[in-house]
Chains A and B, each alone.
Chain A
Amino acid sequence: MEHWMKYFLDHPFWFTLTAACLVWYSTITVYVAIRGVFDIRGMLKRLQADAPDANEDAAG
């Protein structure tokens, strides 16, 4: 514990930023991974409903 305190006190900015990166990345990955699945399912459902008619074929 003591040496971690020393690392922090030596370079508080970079030590905190590195720790924050690891914590943020590991938590956000799990959260985004779960919520992202629902986003993909919703997006594909809406796109299926928006499928173009065979007659409707013109674009700019």
Chain B
Amino acid sequence: MNMVAAFSIPIDGSIVGLYLIATMVAGIMVRKYVGKVEHFLMAGREMNVYLGIASLAATEFGIVTCMSQAQNGYAYGFAGSTPGICQAVAMMLIGLTGFCIKPLRDSGVTTIPEMFEKRFGPRIRWAAGVVIVLGGLLNMGMFLRMGGDFLVNIVGYSAANADPSAGPAMQFITTHALELTMTVLLLAVAVYTILGGMLSVLVTDFLQFVVMSVGLIAVTVLILVNVGWDKLVTTVDTKYGSGAFNPFANPLLGWSYVLFQILLNTAATLTWQTTIQRLLASKDTRTGRRIFTGTSFFFVCRFLIPGLWGMAALAMLAPSDVGDKTLLAMPKFLATVVPVGLMGLLVAAMLAADMSTDSSYMLTWGSVIYNDILAPFRKNRPPVSEKRGILYNRLIVALIGVFLLIYGLWYEMKGNLWDYLTITGTIYLASMSVLLVACCYWKRANNWGAAAAIVVGAIIPVAFLVLEKNWMVTNAAKKEVSWLSENGITSAIAGLAAFGCAIAAMIVGSLLKPKSASPSAAEPAA
């Protein structure tokens, strides 16, 4: 297959440039409405339903999602989209019933740890903040890198394509394309996020939702017309058999994977900070719940559409074009099939997807650092002025940006990207979801149980991450592999263990504490 990208600088470059200018102008213009810390972090809790749906959808679809789900489509066929169905069902049920999210929004807090303080005390709030930031930043660590990898591959400006006869400037660009793309992407996002906070994020999210949606639909239709549904189905059927359509029949997925995805996606719906920040920024509880139900089906699209792109790459690219870098199969395929003009729209759409995700994630982890980790250190000091509070938040967002750049360039991604995202997310999802449910609905829950759940819920996934990367053995095929995967301990098994142990730790810890010693006598929030 011809592997030359169709990106035209005058045509596609103009479309991308126009999108970037519109986003930056909109993002920077609304900064004048930011007068308080609450405006910066929560947009003054003035968000309504449709802006909420656009913002949540744009935030939760980044290049990292697109790449990971395309990799799942390439490796597992349609069965790779199972997590999207799990999350859509969880969003719909939680939105309809108000399970946990009603008491959470009614409490008027800014972050989840703030709610835990009311029930479990300030130390649990601080510890919850630490694991949320640890899991969140490790999870987000790959975002910028994936954005860079996608854009470099789809535009075709990579070190591998460097033209020795080109001028020194062009040679520098092609040799350092990844680093330059990551830096430009980060700077563009950081400027409006630092200046306008949540307000800029919401307004740019809205624009990005529209651009991203148009691009996603156009490219999917193009793929279905050019490759054909029949070819997609036949390819995955030939390659993976019934396992391509049924996750339970797929030897690489199975019951443990599906069960872990159900738990993980329910926990993410309840406690993933970017999702919850939309609930907390909504103007009332009813609006927050409507945002959940209104966005629920989007989560099927979020997984299935890039999955189709990955399956199309499997159908159209020769295995030698992909090698063992299955993560890059989808952008390589798109580079060859998307024509000039639509390529500009695709790049703009993917930039939109990535910028909305990065800005929201930087702001949301920043809000936890400011509110829950640093707040105790300010307790015995004079109150911080609104201006200084906004300045601190801006600095934190900037530092998170620097972390993303360094981590993205340094960390070497091995194996399946979605597995990495789920296990890093589990570091806090396992314990925070257990704490939230207990906080809302279990009278006996107390700080002993909460502390035990936080520790156990974080240790298991962190240990898995460290051991998987460092405990290597040589298998029968003389290949160096992880001891864990060689012995059937997958990320799904580790994730299930984290959830199970966090539940057990909450129950045992809470029951072990004598009733008279409880400092957290508050009734459940529900």
- The interface of chain A, by Cβ under 8 A from chain B, is 3, 7, 10-11, 13-15, 17-18, 20-22, 24-26, 28-29, 31-33, 35-36, 38-40, 42-44, 46-48, 50-52, 57-60
Judge if B504 is at the interface, Cβ distance under 8 Å.
Answer: no
Complex contact B39–A58 (CB within 8 A): no
Q: Which residues of A sit under 8 angstroms from B43, Cβ to Cβ? A: 43, 47
Question: Which B residues lie within 8 Å of A50 (CB)?
Answer: 35, 39, 44, 46
A22 touches B220 (CB 8 A): yes
Q: Across the interface, do A11 and B384 meet the contact criterion of CB distance under 8 Å? A: no
- Which of A13, A20, A44, A52 is in CB contact (< 8 Å) with B386? A52
Q: Which residues of B contact A10 (CB under 8 A)?
A: 233
Partner of B387, one of A32, A48, A57: A57
Residues of chain A within 8 A (CB-CB) of B50 are 31-32, 35-36, 38-39
Cα-based distance from A51 to B39 in the complex (angstroms): 9
Q: A50 to chain B: closest CB distance in Å?
A: 6
Q: Are A32 and B54 interface neighbours, CB within 8 A?
A: yes
Question: Chain A's interface: helix, strand, loop or mixed, by majority?
Answer: helix
Inter-subunit contact B304/A21 (CB<8 Å): yes
Contacting residue for B245 out of A7, A11, A38, A59, CB 8 A: A11
In the complex, chain A residues whose CB is within 8 Å of the CB of B85: 17
Known A-B contacts A7-B233, A10-B233, A46-B46; A29 and B51 likewise in contact (beta carbons under 8 Å): no
- Which of chain B's residues have a CB closer than 8 A to the CB of A28? 53, 298
Can you give 27 A-B contacts (C-beta < 8 A)? A3-B230, A11-B78, A15-B229, A17-B300, A18-B229, A20-B297, A21-B301, A22-B220, A24-B297, A28-B53, A28-B298, A32-B50, A33-B54, A36-B206, A40-B51, A40-B203, A40-B206, A42-B46, A43-B46, A43-B202, A47-B39, A47-B199, A50-B35, A58-B384, A59-B389, A60-B375, A60-B383
Chain B nearest CB, measured from A34 CB (Å) = 8
Contact A18 B48 (CB under 8 A): no
Contact A59 B385 (CB under 8 A): yes
Tell me the minimal C-beta distance from A16 to chain B in angstroms.
11
Chain A residues whose CB sits within 8 angstroms of the CB of B49 once the complex forms: 35, 39
A18-B304 in contact given A46-B46, A47-B39 (Cβ < 8 Å): yes
A52 touches B233 (CB 8 A): no
Q: Is B496 an interface residue (CB 8 A)?
A: no
Q: Are A29 and B214 neighbours in the complex by a CB distance under 8 Å?
A: yes
Q: From residue A19, how far is it (CB to closest CB) to chain B in Å? A: 10
Cα A36 to Cα B19 with chains together (Å): 18
Interface residues on B, range: 35 or more
B194 within 8 Å of A by Cβ? no
Question: Complex: how many Å from CA A35 to CA B78?
Answer: 33
Most buried by B among A3, A11, A28: A28
Which chain A residue lies CB-closest to B379?
A: A60
Say yes or no: is B305 at the interface (Cβ < 8 Å to chain A).
yes
- Whether a CB of chain A sits under 8 angstroms from the CB of B170 is no
Q: Please, which residues of chain B bring their CB within 8 A of the CB of A58?
A: 383-386
Bound Cα distance A22, B214 (Å)? 11
Q: How far is the CA of A60 from the CA of B230 in the complex (A)?
A: 60
Residue pair A22, B35 in contact (C-beta under 8 Å): no
Nearest A-chain residue to B230, judged by Cβ: A7
10 smallest CB-CB distances across A and B, nearest first, come from: A39-B51, A35-B50, A29-B213, A39-B48, A21-B301, A52-B35, A36-B50, A43-B46, A47-B33, A14-B78
Given A32-B50, A36-B51, A43-B46, A59 and B37 contact (CB-CB distance below 8 Å): yes
* Of the residues B209, B220, B383, contact of A32 by C-beta under 8 Å: B209
- Determine the distance from Cα of A37 to Cα of B213 in the docked complex, in whole angstroms: 16
Determine if B35 and A51 form an interchain contact, defined as CB atoms under 8 angstroms apart.
yes
Give the docked Cα–Cα distance between A18 and B53 (Å).
Answer: 21
Residues on B with beta carbons closer than 8 Å to the beta carbon of A18:
229, 304, 308
Q: Which residues between 203 and 237 of chain B lie within 8 Å of chain A, taking CB atoms? A: 203, 206, 209-210, 213-214, 216-217, 220-221, 229-230, 233
